[in-house]
Amino acid sequence: MVTKKDIRSLSLLGIETFFKVNGQKNFRVQQVYDWLWKKSCRSFNEMSNLSKEIRSLLDQHFSFPVITIDTEQKSADGTIKSSFLLDDGLRVEGVLIPSEGRTTACISSQAGCPLACTFCATGKLGFRRNLLFAEIFDQIALIQEQSVKFYGKPLSNIVYMGMGEPLLNYENVRASVEKVIDPGGMGMSPQRITVSSVGIPEKIKKMADDKARYHFALSLHAARDDKRGQIIPVNQKYPLKDLIKALKYYHKVTGKRITIEYILFRDFNDGLADASDLAVFCKNFPVKINLIEYNQVENAGFLPSEAHTMKVFQDFLEQKNLVVNLRRSRGKDIAAACGQLAGK
């Protein structure tokens, strides 16, 4: 049995070549491409401006695997968590986060995660596989539909902060971003997209060399190797000095400011000494800092910092002339908040 090639793995040139070989008019190429990426269609039958014969021709030669929403949960604060069913039966999760004046999609790049960060529910699942760029794109398209349905507006922002480590699936993440920002795709500004990573130095440098136009956020959570290594095991392979070197290169090449994400854990990384370590780290390049309240994960052994402690931590950093935002969690009641995605 011959396995059909996924239609969405073809470039525009690939579609053109197929139609030329099969004696079809060239204007059909753009029609098909628009259906795939601008209109986010989900089957050949939806391509209504193509004849039945052409749709049948495509169906004979290509597969069209898509992800579907398996379950949907809505939080008291309006956050919507979706469990997406992949073509091979695996599941990943994505989140629609409404806030004043905008809606944000938080999407996954891997089924599970290989990094096993101690505070993260996804890390306890283990790693199954990388997502294909079309599977990443499908999450965005489906959450876009939710945004319009429930909040009457298209997505304002996209964050690659769901399940998995995006830079360990760099090529598929990059390709999915290209489809989202392509005027022939969703046409979203790259300034509205953020890719978040615990920091893989060679991939950070590659982002710079590839002239990535989206924003980059580093999940730091501790600015000393001994502490960071306790919660982010991959820090032992990529210590902070290597990250600093890669981030300096990234800023030099792109000129872009780096977002630092820092979850505050009670009595672990939330003291003034920790704030001082963070301030020293952040003097290496222009940054903005997002302080994030911890969302408890079963058997992780951490508690969220107290409100007063978080405020003292923030004030210390601001006195060092650093830009600091304190991010409140959304969707905690449905396990949709940062670090909680684990299929529950």
**Backbone dihedral region for residue 286 (phi beyond 0: left; psi -120 to 50: alpha; all else: beta):** beta
Residues in the chain: 344
Give me the tens of pLDDT residue by residue for the chain, a chain 344 residues long: 568 999 999 999 999 999 999 999 999 999 999 999 999 999 999 999 999 999 999 999 999 999 999 999 998 889 999 999 999 999 999 999 999 889 999 999 999 999 999 998 888 888 999 999 999 999 999 999 999 999 999 999 999 999 999 999 999 999 999 999 999 999 999 999 999 999 999 999 999 999 999 999 999 999 999 999 999 999 999 999 999 999 999 999 999 999 999 999 999 999 999 999 999 999 999 999 999 999 887 767 899 999 999 999 999 999 999 999 998 766 566 555 565 555 55
Question: What kind of fold does domain 68-334 have according to CATH?
Answer: TIM Barrel (3.20.20)
Would you state the CATH architecture of domain 5-63?
A: Orthogonal Bundle (1.10)
Question: What are the DSSP calls for 243-275, one per residue?
Answer: HHHHHHHHHHHH-PPEEEEEEEBTTTT-SHHHH
Active site residues: 93, 338
Token pair recorded at residue 180: 């989202």
Q: How far apart are CA 6 and CA 219, in angstroms?
A: 34
Could you tell me where in the chain the CATH 3.20.20.70 domains are found? 68-334
Query: What predicted TM-score, i.e. pTM, was given to this entire model?
Result: 0.93
Nearest to 286 by CA among 237, 332, 251: 251
Question: What are the DSSP calls for 313-329, one per residue?
Answer: HHHHHHHTT-EEEEEPP
Could you tell me where in the chain the CATH 1.10.150.530 domains are found? 5-63
Q: How far apart are CA 176 and CA 313, in angstroms?
A: 37
Q: Is 343 exposed, middle or buried (0-12, 13-18, 19+ CB in 10 A)?
A: middle
